[in-house]
Amino acid sequence: MLRTSRNSSSIILGNLDWSPRQKGIMGRIAVTDGMAEAAVFILESAGHEVVLRHYNAKELRTGALSDFDAVVIRSATKMTAEAIEASCINGRLGFIGRAGVGVDNIDIESASENSVMVCNTPGASTKSVVELTIGHLIASTRFVARADRTLRSGGWAKKQLRGSELGGKRLGLIGFGRIARGVADLAHSFGMEVNAFDPYVSGDQAAELNCVMHDGVDGLFKACTHISIHCNLSKDTHHLVNHERLSMMPDIGADGTACGNHIVNCARGGIVDESAVLEALQSGKLSSAALDVFEVEPAIGNPLLEHERFHGSPHIGAATLEAQTRVGTEMAGLIVAFFNGERPESAIN
Ligand code: MLT
């Protein structure tokens, strides 16, 4: 269904044909994947009705959100074209808030066609994802989880668990946005040399931050023993980390240490070809792989979980008290602005 403008004063912003909401009209807001209490308080204090309930894919496809003015989702709710169409049958839904960064679970084109504004909270979880990325880098190069497992099972694997330092090694960042820059900062403090690939960032900008920018992603793999992913999932980045690129990694660190190759993904599942990663772990081409995100989540029964040198977590990059409070309160502010007839800064369409 292609929804036409709400009234004659509608304005075109980006690719969204959008009419500001009439001020003072309160909304009915569905929060499908949870939200910080402080954020619910902001919305309710502003006079809005908040319904906290998860809707499954079938419910979404059959119009469960059609009596709401706005919906706030995280990654568990998929606003596909079909779900958006069904949510818009009453012409009521006008706002999809993604409490987080990635909007790959929202069909933006369909939202625009239906005059639904999409907003996210792009900076609210940066610190938490940066810290988890560094945590995974250290945990996998120093066998933190494996050491704990062997200890608990009565072992004392001191000799087998000889890792390598991050200092003196070259870290390659795929994508050089907020999170990657935060990782670069901390990596510098460990004494790492930071390289990056990001077609949208100039070499000069990177040089200012003491990072070496590569023209192509292959160059990054050839130069770096440690790679961390910080880009969005799109058609272009699907399986960007594949067998061919993993086989380009140098094995020997920039400081001459035989540290092997290491890969971390706290961005999005699907950017890494997981079967190529498993093969590279089995062949020894990769010394470790750490994933917080998977192609299929929850990653129950994923064959990577069987590999000793794999280190995983269940998509917890933004799962901190601080990030969730920031994400929620920022999102509540965006919704209040939307109902005041404003176009929030983080509007995507
Ligand atoms: C995000 O995109 O913000 C993160 O993946 C967090 C999440 O969805 O849980």
pLDDT in tens, 117-128: 999 999 999 999
Of the candidates 237, 121, 225, 128, which has an alpha carbon nearest to the alpha carbon of residue 174?
237
User: Global pTM?
Assistant: 0.91
Residue 22 pLDDT class (50, 70, 90 cuts): confident
| Out of 3-12, 87-96, 169-178, 218-227, least confident range | 3-12
Alpha-helical (H) ranges within the chain are 37-45, 57-61, 81-87, 108-113, 126-141, 144-152, 178-189, 203-208, 217-223, 243-246, 274-283, 321-339
* Average pLDDT over every residue of 86-115: 96
Check residue 3 and give its pLDDT. 31
Residue 23 has pLDDT above 90, yes or no: no
Please give the C-alpha separations between residue 165 and each of 179, 188, 202, in angstroms, as whole numbers. Answer: 22, 13, 30
Q: What is the mean pLDDT of the chain?
A: 94
Write the pLDDT tens digit of every residue in 164-193. 999 999 999 999 999 999 999 999 999 999
Residue 271 has pLDDT above 90, yes or no: yes
* Average pLDDT over every residue of 276-287: 98
Looking from the CA of residue 120, the nearest atom of ligand 1 is 3
Write the pLDDT tens digit of every residue in 220-259. 999 999 999 999 999 999 999 999 999 999 999 999 999 9
Residue positions annotated with a catalytic role:
268, 297, 315
Q: Is 125 in the pocket of ligand 1 (CB under 6 A)?
A: yes
Q: How far is the CA of 75 from the centre of ligand 1 (A)?
A: 6
Please give the C-alpha separations between residue 274 and each of 239, 288, 321, in angstroms, as whole numbers. Answer: 8, 13, 30
Check residue 14 and give its pLDDT. 66
Check residue 16 and give its pLDDT. 84
* Average pLDDT over every residue of 12-21: 73
Q: Is 74 in the pocket of ligand 1 (CB under 6 A)?
A: yes
Q: CA–CA separation, 192 vs 169, rounded Å?
A: 5
| Contact yes or no for 54/71 (Cβ under 8 A) | no
* Average pLDDT over every residue of 290-300: 97
Looking from the CA of residue 318, the nearest atom of ligand 1 is 6
Check residue 13 and give its pLDDT. 55
Q: Is 175 in the pocket of ligand 1 (CB under 6 A)?
A: no
Check residue 6 and give its pLDDT. 32
